[in-house]
Amino acid sequence: MEIITAFVAALTVLFPLLNPVGNTPIFFGITAGDTPEFRRHQALKTAINVFIILTVCLLLGRYILAMFGLSVPILRLAGGLVVANVGWGLLQQSPQLDDEANNEARDKVDVSLSPMALPIIANPGAMSIAISLGAGSPKIETVLGNLLALASLTILNYVCLILGEPMVKKLGRNGMDAFNKVLGFLVLGIGVNLIVSGIHDLIRNPGM
């Protein structure tokens, strides 16, 4: 019963932070020029990376932060800088004029760890929540419930990333380029918000 309680509690607080549906267009904006096969492989690697990152935060996060003298506001500030950089990159992305054959042959960039897993999905907010959950009850039932919640959300993220492909096909290349501009502005705003939030927390509680 305690496993179920921990599972529901972790699922409730982590779901809006991991945002499986909201992260799907970001993923397809970043990988718009890649092949479907490569994109599916990236989705799987992203899900695995997210699970590993948040599991480490859950089990060892507080010790890692203490070891390096870091705090959650510092992580939020650093994550905001990375997210803002991703948004700026989407805004500056030029239309892809090469044909499908060139798209197949060109070098692929692995985005599964950065920026998709960290800091977009396993963002500073999700990491801080995972650390908080890990700092709670040390009972094995609670830990297992939290891990089951992480696994469930990881699978849900993977499914959403895979099922988002029809949307990209419907938009087409020109539609995706226009979508990237709008999305880049929104992602840039998210990054700035994280930066401001991190600075605010550091000013309010410099010792955090």
* Degrees, nearest 5: CA angle 171-174-177: 95
pLDDT 10s digits, 135-171: 777 789 999 999 999 999 999 999 989 987 776 667 6
- Three-state DSSP string of 69-119: CCCHHHHHHHHHHHHHHHHHHHHHCCCCCCCHHHHHHCCCCCCHHHHHHHH
**C-alpha count within 13 angstroms, C-beta hemisphere, residue 44:** 5
pLDDT 10s digits, 54-87: 999 999 877 877 788 877 777 678 777 877 877 7
Q: Does the global pTM surpass 0.85?
A: no
Q: Which of 16-20, 93-97, 150-154, 196-200 has the lowest mean pLDDT?
A: 93-97
Does 52 score more than 90 pLDDT?
Answer: yes
